[in-house]
């Protein structure tokens, strides 16, 4: 036990110095320093985003410096708040952040802005009311999840006929992008006259979505389609459709266009998904930040493209 205590401190020291491990200060090189603060880098989606950003920086190494940080767990708000503080004290010119929570990060971002740091919001949009209360304006650079989900939903609607029963498998119910995708699915289904008989959360996870899909199929034998708020859940739903012996009778749509979905899109088990260009999402944010820093323009919201992907 005795030998474990120093070991523990050593590893804590190691962990705590990791986020500060960026290159020499911006003042020395004259290049702007941009901090990318992500959610969990263990998540495929955010990892792709971070890798896209690193590639972009490598191609534009003369233009700016990049520090990439992520938190361990998507719900670990305290860790992300700490990261923002550290980035500010490191003297970065801009922070591009995918907030782990759309309200809880506002206070620390206000601190960052007051310290003269440009803040750009990507991925998960900060809550408009909270921003207003804090007297803060932070530009959002990102895709319109609702429009994307609606577009995939419209592709699905063409395969169904009015009055058909459909079900939605939602993401984490507190996540704004999850709520937007659900709303987009509903827009498309209501417009086409479909009947939404169930809408439950699969918590963004394949296994949980599989259970939810199996339950929905058993409880609603006439369901013709499962609308999943991400691709991992679409994979879980596809397995549930197969297990229920309903292959080919139930259409599935997803969101994100992850690599693992390709074989299912190819053979039609999944009809369509939505690509919001994950590898470019952070890049869009960084480019917006660089432009504002260079031109001294006042920041504004910016929409990035979403595309429907079939087969």
Partner 1 sequence: MRRWTDFFILIAVLAAMIVLFGLMRDSFFSMGTLGTVANRIPALALVATGMTLVMVTGGIDLSVGSLLGFCGAVTGVLMADLHWGLALAVLASVAVGAVIGSTTGAVSVKLRLPSFIVSLGMLEIARGLAFLTTNSQTKYIGADIEALGAPFGGLVISPAFVISLLVVAAGQVMLSQMAIGRHLIAIGANREAALVSGLSVDRPRIFAHALLGALTGLAAVFNCSRLGSADPNAGTGFELGAIAAVVVGGTSLMGGRGSVVKSFMGVLIIATLEAGLIQVGATEPVKRVVTGLVIVAAVLADTWRRK
| Residues within the interface to partner 1 (CB under 8 A) | 1, 41-44, 47, 173, 198, 200-201, 203, 205-207, 210-212, 214-221, 232, 235-236, 238-239, 242-245, 258-264
What does the block give as tokens for 80? 């992300």
Least distance from partner 1 to the Cβ atom of residue 39, Å: 12
Which lies closer to partner 1 via its Cβ, residue 77 or residue 214?
214
Least distance from partner 1 to the Cβ atom of residue 272, Å: 17
Containing H/E element for 64? none
Backbone φ and ψ for 88, nearest 5 degrees, come out as: -65, -45
Residues sharing a CB contact under 8 Å with residue 193, sequence separation 6 or more, in sequence order: 162, 163
Nearest alpha-carbon partner for 92 in 281, 286, 254:
286
Which lies closer to partner 1 via its Cβ, residue 85 or residue 275?
275
Residue pair 227/254 in contact by the 8 Å Cβ criterion: no
Which lies closer to partner 1 via its Cβ, residue 78 or residue 218?
218
Least distance from partner 1 to the Cβ atom of residue 216, Å: 7
Which lies closer to partner 1 via its Cβ, residue 214 or residue 308?
214
Which lies closer to partner 1 via its Cβ, residue 223 or residue 289?
223
d(CA 222, CA 164): 8
User: What is the rounded end-to-end Cα distance, in angstroms, of the chain?
Assistant: 57
Least distance from partner 1 to the Cβ atom of residue 102, Å: 18
Least distance from partner 1 to the Cβ atom of residue 214, Å: 4
């Amino acid at each position: 036990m005795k030998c474990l205590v120093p070991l523990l401190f050593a590893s804590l020291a190691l962990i705590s110095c990791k986020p500060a491990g960026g290159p020499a200060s911006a003042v020395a090189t004259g290049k702007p320093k941009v901090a990318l603060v992500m959610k969990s880098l263990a998540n495929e989606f955010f990892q792709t985003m971070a890798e896209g950003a690193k590639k972009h920086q490598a191609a534009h190494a003369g233009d700016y410096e990049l520090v990439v940080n992520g938190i361990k767990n998507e719900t670990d708000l305290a860790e992300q708040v700490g990261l923002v503080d550290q980035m500010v004290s490191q003297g970065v010119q801009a922070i591009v952040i995918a907030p782990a929570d759309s309200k809880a990060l506002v206070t620390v971002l206000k601190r960052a802005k007051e310290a003269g740091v440009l803040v750009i919001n990507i991925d998960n949009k900060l809550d408009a009311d909270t921003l207003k209360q804090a007297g803060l304006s932070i530009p959002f650079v990102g895709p319109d999840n609702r429009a994307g989900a609606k577009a995939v939903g419209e592709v699905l609607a063409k395969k169904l006929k009015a009055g058909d029963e459909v079900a939605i498998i939602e993401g984490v119910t507190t996540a704004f992008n999850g709520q937007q995708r659900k709303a987009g699915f509903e827009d498309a289904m209501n417009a086409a006259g479909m009947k939404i008989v169930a809408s439950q959360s699969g918590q963004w996870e394949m296994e949980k979505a599989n259970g939810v899909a199996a339950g929905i199929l058993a409880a609603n034998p006439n369901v013709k389609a499962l609308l999943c708020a991400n691709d991992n859940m679409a994979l879980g739903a596809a397995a549930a459709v197969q297990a229920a012996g309903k292959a080919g009778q139930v259409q599935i749509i997803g969101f994100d266009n992850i690599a693992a979905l390709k074989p299912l899109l190819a053979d039609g088990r999944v009809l369509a998904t939505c690509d919001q260009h994950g590898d470019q999402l952070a890049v869009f944010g960084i480019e917006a930040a660089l432009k504002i820093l260079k031109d001294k323009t006042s920041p504004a919201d910016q929409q990035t493209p979403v595309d429907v992907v079939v087969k």
